[in-house]
Homo-oligomer: A and B are copies of this chain.
């Protein structure tokens, strides 16, 4: 009989046990850290009214959305966690307390052409702080602490990362002061790495920017150094523009020892309006940003008349996990949560011990004691670290054998000693 194809579709991944355990551990660390900083969990439907999701999409994103009609309803699958947040806050505005600190961890869907590093289903882990009417800049200053706390915990040892920040007002202000089209100029500046300063000068000149203004942009783009040095050079530019000055002041207040100011990051022209964040791996720049975000003036203008400014970041965990795997940086452990396998000839002794171990938070499996070799092989393959063996002798003496599957060492211990050994 012909069997049905069991491979997942392109762009859709599933993990084997040891990988899934490692992935879940990272996800759980992110979740716990978000909660340690007082973010409230939120879960919105994966399927929404197409009209509601598309209201905030556009261009490339809109083409990627999975959309379909069933009955009389036009459905779309969520492509990020920000649009559903906007809709949720607009819908439940009166039931929420502001500033609303929410986290959302879930899968999102983008039907892009699959290519290296691009997934069609992936986990995002987002936090946002939403104000009503206004939102203090201290919210922007708080986020790098959270990013730092998470990546210190989830990245493999010695994987250094840098949290880069910038403020969109600075560049906006500069363009305003120079009286040139920001969108066009920005598109050219984004090519710095590719075409160099000469190439940029040439292209700016081609769209009619005067030479003295090109010089200002070039000298701006050459600003580097420590946070203090960069802030010093920005102030030294003495640019008489409010947005520029506000941007510098905000950047000064948000920057800290945890962040590196990087005037070259911009993160999406339309959406972000103030602070922007990117996070990169020092030794692996090719991975790109593993955690990005920024400040926006108004979350939900499409859905409500209330002004809802916010600031947020997103970790694309599926992509990060994939990249760490490719770089061979993933440290895989066991293929099961089980810490002890009890093999016993006595059903009651087994059940009682298993129950005590589980009450103490120790994941435990049990089996009748037979085919010992097969059982030990099972434990070994899964990476179960300890096996307790309870045979006739052990039941009579009320002592149990504890076998360490790593060293192979076997000890005969009382129940109390077994418990303290396992609780170590």
Contact = CB atoms under 8 A, between A and B. Distances in A.
Contacts of A3: 90, 302-305
Given A109-B47, A378-B97, A42 B66 contact: no
Instruction: Pick from A40, A51, A302 the residue with the most CB of B within 10 Å.
Output: A40
Interface string A22-42: 011000000000011111111
Name the residue among A23, A36, A70, A142 with the largest chain B CB count within 10 angstroms. A36
Interface stretch (A4-12, A207-215, A415-423): A4-12
Given A52-B5, A91-B6, A364 B66 contact: no
A55 interface: yes
Interface stretch (A269-277, A331-339, A386-394): A331-339
Interface in A348-378: 358, 361-368, 378
Interface string A55-73: 1000000000011101101
Total copies of this chain within the assembly: 2
A370 B206 CA distance: 53
B87 A37 contact: no
Nearest to A384: B38
Given A138-B367, A364-B36, A90 B14 contact: no
Contacts of A414: none
Nearest to A89: B6
Nearest to A123: B43
A311 to B, nearest CB: 15
Contact of A363 (B7, B16, B35): B35
A101 interface: yes
A72 to B, nearest CB: 11
A14 B121 contact: no
Contact of A37 (B92, B102, B365): B365
A91 B136 CA distance: 52
A111 interface: yes
Contacts of A216: none
Q: Which of A43, A51, A73, A366 has the most CB of B within 10 A?
A: A43
Interface residues of A, number: 82
A122 B201 CA distance: 56
B4 A52 contact: yes
B364 A40 contact: no
A13 to B, nearest CB: 8
A8 B45 contact: yes
Contact of A337 (B4, B12, B35): B35
Nearest to A8: B45
Contact of A38 (B40, B88, B364): B364
A331 B44 CA distance: 22
Contacts of A71: 111
A36 B304 contact: no
Contact of A17 (B42, B52, B304, B362): B42
A95 interface: yes
A45 B91 CA distance: 29
Contacts of A52: 4-6
A283 to B, nearest CB: 27
B302 A37 contact: no
A21 interface: yes
Given A3-B304, A38-B338, A97-B382, 12 more contacts: A3-B90, A3-B302, A5-B52, A6-B90, A6-B91, A9-B73, A17-B42, A20-B40, A20-B43, A37-B364, A40-B336, A41-B337
10 A-B pairs with the lowest CB-CB distances in the bound complex, closest first: A68-B68, A38-B338, A38-B365, A6-B91, A35-B337, A12-B45, A36-B358, A4-B55, A97-B381, A17-B40
